[in-house]
Amino acid sequence: MRRAGIDRSVIKRIGGWKTEAMFLRYNIIDERDFVEAARKMEFYRAQERSQGAISTESSTVGEKSLPKGPPANSGNLLQ
């Protein structure tokens, strides 16, 4: 369900799990999760390279130019 993009709280409710510990116990991580994490990191690095380094000299949090995230259809790991 997590890989399908279903919200964590919904998964817990469907599974009847009241605590985060129960979610984590049954949240199986496999090779696909590692491959997806590597793909997302490469996407992030490519964005960083194409945009150059983010300057933090005189900007505030609201003014920083943050890199765009991965494509919308990539799904989230543990949301």
pLDDT by residue, tens only, the chain of 79 residues: 988 999 999 999 999 999 999 999 988 888 999 999 999 999 999 999 998 765 444 444 444 444 555 555 455 445 4
41 falls within a domain:
yes
Quote the tokens at residue 61: 């949090």
64 located within any domain: no
Q: What angle do CA 48, 54, 60 make, to 5 degrees?
A: 140
Question: What is the domain range of residue 38?
Answer: 1-52
Number of structural domains in the chain:
1
The total of other beta-carbon atoms located within 10 Å of residue 5's CB is 11
pLDDT of residue 53: 60
Instruction: Tell the burial category of 17 from Cβ atoms under 10 Å away from its Cβ (0-12, 13-18, 19+).
Output: middle
Is there a domain that residue 21 lies in?
yes
The tokens 């983010």 sit on which residue?
A: 54
Helices (H), the chain: 8-15, 20-26, 31-51
